[in-house]
Amino acid sequence: MDKVRRFANELLDGQTTEYVKTPAKMAERLTNLTSGSDLLISTDDGLYCPEGGFHIDPWKVVERAVVTHAHSDHVTAGCGSYLCSTSGRRVLRERLGKEATISGEDFGTMIRMRGVRVSLHPAGHILGSAQVRVERRVANGGGVRKGEVWVFSGDYKIESDLTCQAFEPVPCDVFITESTFGLPIYRWGRTSDEFGRVNAWWRANAAQERTSVLFAYALGKAQRLLAGIDPAIGPIAVHGAIDRFNKAYRDEGVSLPDAPHAIGETVSLVRGRGLLIAPPSALGSPWIRKFASTEQGFSAAVASGWMQVRGTRRRKAVDRGFVVSDHADWPGLLQAIKATGATRVGITHGYVRQFAQWLSESGYDTFALPTRYEGEREDDGAGSNLGEQESVPDLVEPNAPSLLRPDAEK
């Protein structure tokens, strides 16, 4: 336990450190992943339910995919069919195109998929994000009784969010959780306070006729920022990769301020006192330089949970960092797990070994789930000569390269 705390403190100070060494007993347990008798098992295609005949967030093309949310690292194009939440169907359609076979189910609706019952429940990550509940039905004489229940969380947060339905704890026997921010140093403050800091930064820049450029992920984070900032400060515009998803959000009934695609006359409207929201891949591009005023240039900031760490802030080629994350922080992860009542916990993408060690010492039966989730990838929607994809570090392994790394631009 002391090693975990020491590691957390070193991270907070921005020092370079190796991962916490996992005890031999824990390492042995972590290599014992899901077994063939489990309701959900790990395969080369992703997480699979043999009794239901479907995959959850597969990373290869499969016949039936249940999708937790529309971030591209959780969605593989070309699958035979997709099941998602009703509120997430529009953004998933925007991601996959009109040819994909997508069906949506309301949160809490129980459906039968071969020998299991499946339902989707709010995850609070982005619009339509869902946890997947899978229940094995067990024959009992002449009837059927409730069997083992597994819940796959997908990505989630427990904070309130104007752009998506709040996280809902789902009672279960086995809970598979993400661990993106699975260290004690990650503790979010009040979101309203952080939005206040964003507004103050933008207002100060506008007073000096300097454009404010805020980098955020195109799906989810950008819309959350738009819903939380003060549009009275000045004009707002967005990168094309964000604009395409804004429409899907508005069509789903989410209220967003006017924020046109930043091309043509909109460029001059925003330059000098406006706010531009763009994906991280846009930094350093010819397109972004259009927004620099002649004398003052522009002020760049990043909105990310990684901004919690001072060392990370120093490594970014930006002026400000705002701690706004669409993932649960350390207290949020622990709160969510406790609320499920699960005694067995699977851990995936993030600080897996460290978080598993903590939970194991707290009495949980833990196991690691291998993943190929790399973080949301941002598509260039503005026609600029950017890298086609940009990994977003909210989901990648700890000690990941810089969010604004030069080699991501092509």
| Residue 171 and residue 220 in one domain | no
Sheet with 130-140: strands ordered across: 111-113, 116-122, 130-140, 143-152, 174-179, 344-350, 365-368
Tens-level pLDDT at each residue, the chain (410 residues): 555 455 455 444 443 333 333 344 444 444 445 556 899 999 999 999 999 999 999 999 999 999 999 999 999 999 999 999 999 999 999 999 999 999 999 999 999 999 999 999 999 999 999 999 999 977 665 555 568 999 999 999 999 999 999 999 999 999 999 999 999 999 999 999 999 999 999 999 999 999 999 999 999 999 999 999 999 999 999 999 999 999 999 999 999 999 999 999 999 999 999 999 999 989 888 898 888 866 678 999 999 999 998 666 665 678 999 999 999 999 999 999 999 999 999 999 899 999 999 999 999 999 999 887 665 444 433 333 222 233 333 323 333 333 222 222 22
Total domains in the chain come to 2
- Asked whether residue 340 is assigned to any structural domain, the reply reads yes
Residue at 28 is within a domain: yes
Question: For residue 289, what are the contacts with CB-CB under 8 A and spacing of at least 6?
Answer: none
Based on the fold, state whether residues 121 and 145 are members of the same structural domain: yes
Both 38 and 84 in a single domain? Answer: yes
Q: What is the CATH number of the domain that holds 248?
A: 3.40.50.10890
Note whether 168 and 54 are same-domain residues: yes
Residue 13 phi, psi (nearest 5): -85, 0
- Inside any domain, residue 394: no
Residue 408 lies in a domain: no
Domain that holds residue 174: 2-186+326-373
Q: Is residue 287 part of a domain?
A: yes
Cα–chain center distance at 142: 44
DSSP structure class, residue 408: G
Both 215 and 292 in one domain: the answer is: yes
Q: Are residues 208 and 306 in the same domain?
A: yes
